[in-house]
Amino acid sequence: MSGQRTLLYLDDLTPGQRFVGRTAIDVSAEAIKTFARQYDPQPFHLDEEAAAKTLFGGLAASGWHTTALTMQLLVGDGPPLAGGIIGAGTDELRWPRPVRPGDRLRIECEVIEVRPSKSRPDQGLVKMRTTTLNQSNEPVQIFTGNLVVPRRAAAG
């Protein structure tokens, strides 16, 4: 992320609003294996030969690795939400295709719903769909998260 970005409050967000990431993350075989050794030590994430004999047909990143990379992209290049990216749950999480060594990932976000809180007037919930795409613009992850976002009046 370069330069200072204007923070967005609940009041600044509307359904249909889109945010397209400008940066990307390159995924290496070593990064896939390093993550897998610590968090998801299955053969198709750790060893090319073993992975070739699975339904993946080759080394593939853990879906949880893809999720962690997506979070890194959201924090650095996603919508600049006041208060940060604070999750209150996920409605959907899908991995339509595996992430492979050499993939270059970026994100696109769309605001689905904006709902002020009835019990906490200083904040609300934003339902946002984030799609992680590879270098061929193919989705590798789609998730819809519920984010807690402060209201502008609460900041003043």
- Please state, in angstroms and rounded to a whole number, the distance separating the CA atoms of residues 148 and 139: 25
Q: Which residues contact 25 (CB under 8 A, 6 or more apart)?
A: 69, 72, 73, 104, 105, 106
At residue 153, the pLDDT reads 74
Task: Flag whether 2 is in a domain.
Answer: no
Overall domain count for the chain: 1
- Give the other-Cβ count within 10 Å of 152's Cβ: 14
Percent of the chain with pLDDT over 90: 94
Mean pLDDT of the chain: 95
Q: Which CATH number is 101's domain given?
A: 3.10.129.10
Percent of the chain with pLDDT over 70: 96
Q: Are 125 and 59 in contact (CB under 8 A)?
A: no
Structural domain range at position 47: 12-155
Region 95-104 average pLDDT: 98
In this predicted model, which residue has the larger pLDDT, 156 or 10?
10
Task: Flag whether 134 is in a domain.
Answer: yes
What pTM does this model have?
0.93
Secondary element (H or E) of residue 123: strand 123-133
